[in-house]
Chains A and B, each alone.
Chain A
């Protein structure tokens, strides 16, 4: 990054600050490391002092990591969960965008389905699991259905918001050049609701991950969730916790990826004003 330019601008703004880089080190990095260390130490100490030996603690989790990440069962589980999340998210993204665009651009569609979309979105998504297990059996299909159900409504709501807030001038110009409805949708409405789509996708990815893990708990189909469940039931807490760390990594990774995409491809858009 352009550390030097930031440094000079900071130095210009606050002449009293002697060295911005070291100030950053002392002001930000050090407290973070210290807090992390304190949390880990407290965890280690409490578990050692009060909990049974099988309970996960930082040192033994770290020691379990090299063992677990070469374990074929773990790799298969990760692949299965990621594949299910990816497949479900892709379906939810396409279907959700289509429905969202229809809702945003047509009053009739909006009125017909708005209450259902909001209602399903407010529902705690995991209550559909018993129903899906009746419909699809205890299988991967029920997991994908859960992922889609978890993800689609936040995408629909956000895309509809985006499609509704297309600047009127754009549409008027397009109309005065006699462009067809489909072209307007594809070349104006879709690109201009892109930031909303990304915000919806960020929410949807987190919910999809939760949906997949819960579905694996409930349906006992192979995947990371089942890996965690199985290992913690057989008192391999350290191994199971590596799975949790990976899930947390996915959660944070999705978040960072979407934020980065928003900044990189839509620098004019401030996400903190538009989310939720």
Chain B
């Protein structure tokens, strides 16, 4: 732990610097300690059990370096990233305008809402066998899977935001003779944007699951293929290396999602 030391002179430059270091130490030390403890635990567990069961952290890193050096890893990563981005962007392009349209047309919203909620709660993985037998093994069916995983959180949250829009806002805009386009741009979209961003954060996580599921159960490509292949060859090191990387990607994407959400949450009361 860090020893608490009081600076003697308040104007002293070095003392201020020491305080800054101490504060950042106090903030980040627990994280590094727990990280190191986890790695140590992993290393010990890996060494204590058989290699088919678990691989120590050091060997996982070695295996990861091998995969990176052979270029296999970068190729599969780019493959997965293309799939993820394509599906995710289509989900946004479809989900957001549809959601705001539902905000505008009340009858449509009331009519369609229960179906969106039902689909939001449905495990989309169950549709993968149908997609497989209808569309086969191309790139398009996989994009469809990612899209289906990602679109409903966006839609659901947009509708939720649209439902909470204050009628006064629209009435005021109307009484100032705002036309439909201006109404969308200046009232509807800004108001629902924080909700949309909540949907985006959820959609990021789901799209990642969809990506891996598509790579597992449709044609094997990308990071999913990397991990499947490793598992089938009993290459436990490869399995752990891929899980580590996909896990880190998941954590990173979740961070980004949270940052986006918080950035736009500023004007949500």
Residues of A within 8 A of B (CB): 27-28, 31-32, 34-36, 39, 51, 55-56, 111-116, 118-120, 122-131, 133-135, 206, 209-210, 213-214, 217-218, 225, 228-229, 232-233, 235, 237, 240-241, 243-244, 247-248, 251-252, 254-255, 276
Q: Which of B12-20, B110-118, B137-145, B177-185 contacts A (4 or more CB under 8 A)?
A: B110-118
CB distance B212 to A126 under 8 Å? Answer: yes
A133 to B239, CA, bound (A): 11
Tell me, rounded to whole Å, the shortest Cβ–Cβ distance linking B94 to chain A.
Answer: 16
CB distance A252 to B127 under 8 Å? Answer: no
- Which of A113, A217, A225, A240 has a CB less than 8 Å from the CB of B130? A240
CB distance A232 to B130 under 8 Å? Answer: yes
CB distance B126 to A247 under 8 Å? Answer: yes
| B73 proximal to A (CB < 8 A) | no
Residues of B within 8 A of A235 (CB): 133
Tell me, rounded to whole Å, the shortest Cβ–Cβ distance linking A143 to chain B.
Answer: 14
A112's nearest neighbour on chain B, judged by CB, is: B34
Residues of B within 8 A of A115 (CB): 31, 34-35
Residues of B within 8 A of A36 (CB): 111, 115
- Which of A51, A111, A217 has a CB less than 8 Å from the CB of B217? A217
CB distance B247 to A127 under 8 Å? Answer: yes
Q: Which of B3-11, B63-71, B165-173, B229-237 contacts A (4 or more CB under 8 A)?
A: B229-237
Residues of B within 8 A of A128 (CB): 243
CB distance B122 to A251 under 8 Å? Answer: yes
- Which of B34, B121, B126, B132 has a CB less than 8 Å from the CB of A111? B34
A255's nearest neighbour on chain B, judged by CB, is: B121
Query: Chain A's interface: helix, strand, loop or mixed, by majority?
Result: helix
- Which of A31, A39, A124, A233 has a CB less than 8 Å from the CB of B208? A124
CB distance B121 to A214 under 8 Å? Answer: no
Tell me, rounded to whole Å, the shortest Cβ–Cβ distance linking A37 to chain B.
Answer: 10
| B93 proximal to A (CB < 8 A) | no
Residues of A within 8 A of B211 (CB): 124
Beyond A127-B242, A232-B129, A244-B127: 10 further Cβ-contacts under 8 Å?
Answer: A31-B110, A130-B228, A134-B234, A209-B123, A210-B125, A217-B217, A232-B130, A237-B133, A244-B122, A251-B122
Residues of B within 8 A of A252 (CB): 117-118, 121-122
A214's nearest neighbour on chain B, judged by CB, is: B125
Can you pick out 15 interface pairs between chain A and chain B where the beta carbons lie within 8 Å of each other?
A35-B111, A111-B33, A116-B38, A123-B243, A123-B247, A124-B208, A127-B212, A210-B209, A225-B126, A232-B130, A240-B129, A247-B126, A248-B119, A248-B122, A255-B121
A1 to B247, CA, bound (A): 48
Q: A36-B115, A134-B234, A248-B122 are in contact. Are A124 and B209 (CB under 8 A)?
A: yes
| B85 proximal to A (CB < 8 A) | no
Tell me, rounded to whole Å, the shortest Cβ–Cβ distance linking A170 to chain B.
Answer: 27
Q: A119-B251, A122-B251, A228-B129 are in contact. Are A135 and B242 (CB under 8 A)?
A: no
CB distance B122 to A124 under 8 Å? Answer: no
B232's nearest neighbour on chain A, judged by CB, is: A130
A27 to B35, CA, bound (A): 56
Q: A113-B34, A131-B231, A232-B130 are in contact. Are A124 and B246 (CB under 8 A)?
A: yes
